[in-house]
Structure 1
Amino acid sequence: MKKVILASNSPRRKDLMKYLNIDFEIKPSDVEEIINPKLEHEDLVMDLAFQKAYDIFKNNKNSVVLGFDTLVVIDDYVLGKPKDKDEAKMFLNILSNRNHRVLTGCAILTKGYSKSFYTDAIVTFAKLTEAEIDEYIESEEPLDKAGAYGIQGYGSKFVTAVNGDYFTIVGFPIAKVYQELKKALNQ
Structure 2
Amino acid sequence: MIVQHLPYLSSKRIVLASQSPRRREILDLLGLKHEVVVSGFEENLDKSTFSHPSEYVLENARCKAEEVAKRFIGSDAPPDLVIGSDTVVILDNKILEKPLSEAEAFSMLKSLSNRNHTVLTSVALFLKDARTCTASFYEATNVSFAELNDNLIWEYIRTREPMDKAGAYGIQGIGGSLVKGVEGCYFNVMGFPMHRFATELARLIDQGAV
Q: TM-score, normalised by structure 1?
A: 0.95
CA distance in 1, matches of 2:176, 2:44: 31
Corresponding position of 1:132: 152
Which residue among 53, 58, 68 is the counterpart of 1:46? Answer: 58
Report % sequence identity: 40
| CA-based RMSD | 1.4
- Contact preservation (8 Å) 1:68, 1:106: yes
Corresponding position of 1:65: 82
SS of the residue 1:72 aligns to: strand
Larger strand share, 1 or 2 = 1
CA distance in 2, matches of 1:126, 1:22: 35
Deviation at 1:2, TM superposition (A): 3.4
Count of aligned positions? 187
Deviates more, 1:73-82 or 1:175-184: 175-184
Deviation at 1:21, TM superposition (A): 1.7
CA distance in 2, matches of 1:94, 1:165: 23
Deviation at 1:183, TM superposition (A): 4.0
Corresponding position of 1:15: 25
CA distance in 2, matches of 1:43, 1:119: 12
- Contact preservation (8 Å) 1:108, 1:184: no
Deviation at 1:19, TM superposition (A): 2.1
- Contact preservation (8 Å) 1:49, 1:67: yes
Corresponding position of 1:146: 166
Larger Cα-atom Rg: 2
Deviation at 1:24, TM superposition (A): 0.9
Alignment of 1:111-126 (within 5 A): 111=128, 114-126=134-146
Q: TM-score, normalised by structure 2?
A: 0.85
1:28 aligns with 2:38: yes
Corresponding position of 1:101: 118
AA aligned to 2:92 is D
SS of the residue 1:105 aligns to: strand
Deviation at 1:184, TM superposition (A): 4.2
AA aligned to 1:92 is L
CA distance in 1, matches of 2:29, 2:196: 13
CA distance in 2, matches of 1:179, 1:120: 16
Corresponding position of 1:79: 96
Deviation at 1:23, TM superposition (A): 1.7
AA aligned to 1:139 is T
CA distance in 1, matches of 2:155, 2:145: 16
SS of the residue 2:90 aligns to: strand
CA distance in 2, matches of 1:25, 1:4: 6
Task: Give the gaps of 5 or more residues in structure 1.
Answer: none
